[in-house]
Amino acid sequence: MDDSVRRHKYMLTEDEMPTTWYNVIPDLPSPPPPPLHPGRMDPVGPDDLTPLFPMDLILQEVSGERYIDIPGGVLDVYRQWRPSPLFRAHRLEKALGTPARIYYKYEGVSPAGSHKTNTSVPQAYYNKKEGTTRLTTETGAGQWGTALSFACALYGIDCEVWQVGASYDSKPYRRLMIEAFGGRVHRSPSDVTDVGRGFAADPKNWPGSLGIAISEAVEVAAKDPNTRYALGSVLNHVLLHQTIIGQEALLQMQMAGDTPTLIVGCTGGGSNFAGLSFPFLREKLAGRMDPRILAVEPASCPSLTRGVYAYDFGDTAGMTPLLKMHTLGHDFIPDPIHAGGLRYHGMAPLISHVYELGLMDAIAVPQTECFAAAVQFARTEGIVPAPEPTHALAAAIREALKAKETGEETVILTALCGHGHFDLAAYDAYLNGSMVDEEVSDARFAEALETLPQVVG
Amino acid sequence: MDDSVRRHKYMLTEDEMPTTWYNVIPDLPSPPPPPLHPGRMDPVGPDDLTPLFPMDLILQEVSGERYIDIPGGVLDVYRQWRPSPLFRAHRLEKALGTPARIYYKYEGVSPAGSHKTNTSVPQAYYNKKEGTTRLTTETGAGQWGTALSFACALYGIDCEVWQVGASYDSKPYRRLMIEAFGGRVHRSPSDVTDVGRGFAADPKNWPGSLGIAISEAVEVAAKDPNTRYALGSVLNHVLLHQTIIGQEALLQMQMAGDTPTLIVGCTGGGSNFAGLSFPFLREKLAGRMDPRILAVEPASCPSLTRGVYAYDFGDTAGMTPLLKMHTLGHDFIPDPIHAGGLRYHGMAPLISHVYELGLMDAIAVPQTECFAAAVQFARTEGIVPAPEPTHALAAAIREALKAKETGEETVILTALCGHGHFDLAAYDAYLNGSMVDEEVSDARFAEALETLPQVVG
């Protein structure tokens, strides 16, 4: 038994919490390509977006400012659970027998149990300021729906959530959590929207997808002037709000007296990954440190490693602006894997751009390897991770074992973006041996890419 | 929107964490009556307990020392999530429109999501030290089973858990959480023990009770010299380990510059309540503050407010020592309410003694009032509480509304001993209107008391 005094977590005080979000765009060698209007095929302007988003968020979406002030009202809410802890994984390191030092930034302490509240709170705040009385959204695993429901409860806004059918069926507690905070949940595809009824006509769409759920939520918001839409990932302003994670982690790594050589995060839409890594990317671009930045995606939905970089719709019905991103095609319906939050056909345009610039790497990992990592993590570190960040944990463990071979003192920093309390059916499947890794055929990827929109120029 | 800078949480550093547990016994005007041997009817000695507990815990059980050192190995594990936060409930206060200031000490940040790890870790530690290879236990809602399973994973001890049937059926995710940490779960009454098979013969016992589950776990431990038993509440050493909560809260209330006038906690076996309140009781006995100390129990299992103070068995089969406590009778099977952790027929002997000394008060609250409080709390404070601490929240809200009437600036401190992520079916029942308050008849209480053991003298 180890009786030594060692630090497990690095905590900042409320006073030390960053008061600005960090926008990486002005620090990049070139800006990302703009979103295009789906009809006109020219860059969208603020007026195109006002039916869906309040002006403050639209301005953040296109901002060239390096730092954007976090409003006092948002800071006040953040301070309930932020700054979030940075943990040193002493017991996992010991179990692996690695000389690597592993740190994880844990966002599961938030009201919704994930990083999603970092953006749901400002989104609800700005909507309230502009008089929005209802917000609609999609949710996959349910983390985002929970986060938005919580934020809407704080500001007295009605919240309506379309949850991907496969997750709705397999994670009933997620729906109940959204309802406990006061939100209303529809199984997507639903019968309350035109697009939902359209997709539901074909049984292949019954498990749903984030793309379909987005179409439903957008349709409802577009029809009602007092209703707006909130997106939980992908867009610049969402990634911006998440940068509080990495800014805190920078300060906490300084407290720990360590500099990461590898930053690893899971990617679905990309907001958690961007939130952790962009502040470190700033340091890398400025030559102050040189970490490898690694995105980890599920083998069954690998937009960065097997998609194409092209303009595509953000949703399945083709109602959103066209985004230049790594995409598997907006028609791609991923297998119903347990990491519901990573089942998105595209990657955030800003991350796609950073990837194209060669500033980061990406790999894809099959889900059984992720759950093996998750169980080892739970039994040593005591936190049962959500299925999404288990992808990053699996990659971190690969690297830690590599360090054991080479003897290198790799310093790994990863984002544990949420707990898995609502995902235990997935652990059950893994522990009882019924979880499998489905191979996705090249033909299936190729087929989904056939319907990419044609963009001239 | 409130843009002011206000503190939401009071955090201690790892260095500020208390390094001793506090034993209230030497500070009381008289010691509590000793446990009796169920056959001999005289006080049990250490030898009577060695089949079930390691010597370190037996010595703690009977200790007259005011402070007991927390071993370095236990401190090292505690430091992962401790010191736990003390929150000021600004938003709840505003929603209630009360001049009362409400603070809550939150134990849901622990690996098991409740205060139970404060004792599961030292119990597993001392058992490991003495060579125990397997620990058995009971669990109601599942919080304690999860906590012990986690602690056993750390020390490489096998963990076997008998879960009360009603909870096993209604909270499948709790079982999965125990299994994720590596523990093995039996539905109680089970067919793997003699007592389990005996109770299962009568259908009225099928929902199970903590008393029955304890009998099963004790039977298995008593038969195997390498197996010992671990209890999650009731006994002195368990209450002792929980006093880290109140000791931290004392320091945190000092940080907040406030002194509680009311300390309120829920009581099942009593460990959470004792953990928060005993360090404040020390201050009260020394004349340094004068808070009212209030226990809140469920109306369907009200051992303090409707039980008798008498010697009774800790389990249903009558295998444990006799404990002098407030009891509803070891044959009492409480209704299957949602606060499974409070469904115990007895109250910790030490709390029972403090209650008899007139140093604290107790009330019973029906579960629908608790869930009304819980939903209001969730939608303002962002934490979905476990059903157990909603009893304390309901009482805290009563007092805060009373303060609104009188204008008094009551300072309320309560223990939010765990989150309700595995209890959302209960929230569903409340929100859809199917939750009811069952009235327990006087006759049913009287009947259960008929089988109290006869103690001479």
> In the prediction, which pLDDT does A1 show?
42
pLDDT along chain B (457 residues), means of 10: 74 96 98 94 93 97 97 96 97 98 97 97 98 96 95 98 92 93 97 96 91 94 96 96 98 98 96 98 98 96 95 91 95 84 92 98 97 98 96 98 96 97 94 91 91 79
Using an 8 Å CB-CB cutoff, list chain A residues near B380: 153-154
Query: Could you tell me the pTM of the whole model?
Result: 0.95
* B2 → closest Cβ in A76, A111, A427: A76
User: Residue A86 and residue A213: Cα distance in Å, rounded?
Assistant: 34
CB neighbour burial string for A105-136, b if at least 16 within 10 angstroms, e if fewer = bbbbbbbbbbbbbbbbbbbbbbbbeeebebbb
> In the prediction, which pLDDT does B293 show?
98
Query: Does residue A429 sit at the B interface (CB-CB below 8 Å)?
Result: no
Residue A182: closest CA among chain B residues belongs to which residue?
Answer: B379
A149 contacts A181 by C-beta, under 8 angstroms: yes
* A339 vs B199, more confident: B199
Tokens read off for B139: 């669990």
Helix (H/G/I), strand (E/B), else coil: B163: strand
What is the distance of C-alpha A69 from the center of its chain? 22
Tokens read off for B108: 């849901």
A163-172, A190-199, B60-69, B293-302: least confident range:
A163-172
Whether residues A76 and B153 touch (CB distance < 8 A) is answered with no
A80 contacts B382 by C-beta, under 8 angstroms: yes
Query: Does residue B109 sit at the A interface (CB-CB below 8 Å)?
Result: yes
In DSSP terms, which residues pair with A68 in a beta bridge?
A: A21
Residue B79: closest CA among chain A residues belongs to which residue?
Answer: A8
Whether residues B428 and A7 touch (CB distance < 8 A) is answered with no
Whether residues A76 and B422 touch (CB distance < 8 A) is answered with no
**CA-wise closest residue to A138 among A211, A58, A237:** A211
Query: What's the pLDDT band for A456 if we cut at 50, 70, 90?
Result: low
Using an 8 Å CB-CB cutoff, list chain B residues near A375: 180
Closest-CA distance of chain A to residue B428, Å: 6
Give pLDDT tens digits for B398-454.
999 999 999 999 999 999 999 999 999 999 999 999 999 988 899 999 999 998 998
Closest-CA distance of chain B to residue A189, Å: 23
Give pLDDT tens digits for A348-381.
999 999 999 999 999 999 999 999 999 999 999 9
Query: Does residue B434 sit at the A interface (CB-CB below 8 Å)?
Result: no
Whether residues B79 and A427 touch (CB distance < 8 A) is answered with no
Query: Does residue B372 sit at the A interface (CB-CB below 8 Å)?
Result: no
Neighbours of A57 (CB within 10 A): 26
* B180 → closest Cβ in A81, A87, A427: A427
Largest CA-CA distance found in chain B, in angstroms, rounded: 67
Best mutation target among B87, B93, B176 (most A Cβ atoms within 10 Å) is B176
Residue B111: closest CA among chain A residues belongs to which residue?
Answer: A382
B159 contacts B128 by C-beta, under 8 angstroms: no
Whether residues A8 and B14 touch (CB distance < 8 A) is answered with yes
Residue A429: closest CA among chain B residues belongs to which residue?
Answer: B176
Helix (H/G/I), strand (E/B), else coil: A317: coil
A415 contacts A386 by C-beta, under 8 angstroms: no
Closest-CA distance of chain B to residue A381, Å: 8
- Which residues 172-201 in chain A show a CB within 8 A of chain B? 173, 176-177, 179-182
Tokens read off for B116: 């139970």
**CA-wise closest residue to A387 among A338, A435, A452, A428:** A338
Using an 8 Å CB-CB cutoff, list chain A residues near B421: 113, 173, 177, 421-422
Best mutation target among B90, B128, B152, B384 (most A Cβ atoms within 10 Å) is B384
Query: Does residue B255 sit at the A interface (CB-CB below 8 Å)?
Result: no
Query: Does residue B306 sit at the A interface (CB-CB below 8 Å)?
Result: no
Angle between helix B117-129 and helix B143-155 axes, rounded to 10 deg: 40
> In the prediction, which pLDDT does A96 show?
98
Sort strands A227-229 and B158-164 into parallel, antiparallel or unpaired: unpaired
What 8-state DSSP symbol labels residue B346?
B
Query: What's the pLDDT band for A2 if we cut at 50, 70, 90?
Result: very low
**What integer is the mean pLDDT of A90-106?**
98
C-alpha distances in Å from residue B284, one per residue of A58, B100, B179, B359, B430: 57, 21, 42, 9, 38
A410 contacts A262 by C-beta, under 8 angstroms: yes
CB pairs under 8 A, 24+ apart, for A182-185?
A: A182/A149, A182/A152, A182/A153, A182/B379, A183/A145, A183/A146, A183/A148, A183/A149, A183/A152, A183/A153, A183/A159, A184/A158, A184/A159, A184/A160, A185/A145, A185/A161
Using an 8 Å CB-CB cutoff, list chain B residues near A431: 179-180
User: Residue B22 and residue B177: Cα distance in Å, rounded?
Assistant: 31
**CA-wise closest residue to B273 among B391, B138, B120:** B391
Tokens read off for B377: 């709390």
B189 contacts B196 by C-beta, under 8 angstroms: yes
User: Residue A122 and residue A56: Cα distance in Å, rounded?
Assistant: 10
**Sequence ranges of the domains in chain B:** 3-17+71-113+237-449
* B177 → closest Cβ in A81, A177, A384: A384
Residue B72: closest CA among chain A residues belongs to which residue?
Answer: A3
CB pairs under 8 A, 24+ apart, for B70-73?
A: B70/B18, B70/B19, B70/B20, B70/B21, B70/B122, B70/B244, B71/A1, B71/A3, B71/B122, B71/B125, B72/A2, B72/A3, B72/A4, B72/A5, B73/A1, B73/A2, B73/A3, B73/B125
**What integer is the mean pLDDT of A99-127?**
97
> In the prediction, which pLDDT does B3 show?
45
**CA-wise closest residue to B223 among B136, B144, B318:** B136
Tokens read off for B115: 């205060």
- Which residues 124-153 in chain A show a CB within 8 A of chain B? 125, 128-129, 150, 153
Residue A107: closest CA among chain B residues belongs to which residue?
Answer: B109
Q: Which residues contact A412 (CB under 8 A, 6 or more apart)?
A: A100, A101, A102, A103, A260, A261, A262, A264, A396, A399, A400
Give pLDDT tens digits for B123-142.
999 999 999 999 999 998 89
| CATH code reported for the domain at A3-17+71-113+237-449 | 3.40.50.1100
Tokens read off for A263: 């930053």
* B177 → closest Cβ in A9, A154, A424: A424
> In the prediction, which pLDDT does B4 show?
62
Using an 8 Å CB-CB cutoff, list chain B residues near A151: none
User: Residue A94 and residue A100: Cα distance in Å, rounded?
Assistant: 10
Using an 8 Å CB-CB cutoff, list chain B residues near A424: 173, 176-177, 180
Tokens read off for B303: 């051992």
Closest-CA distance of chain B to residue A77, Å: 9
In DSSP terms, which residues pair with B263 in a beta bridge?
A: B293, B413
Query: Does residue B95 sit at the A interface (CB-CB below 8 Å)?
Result: no
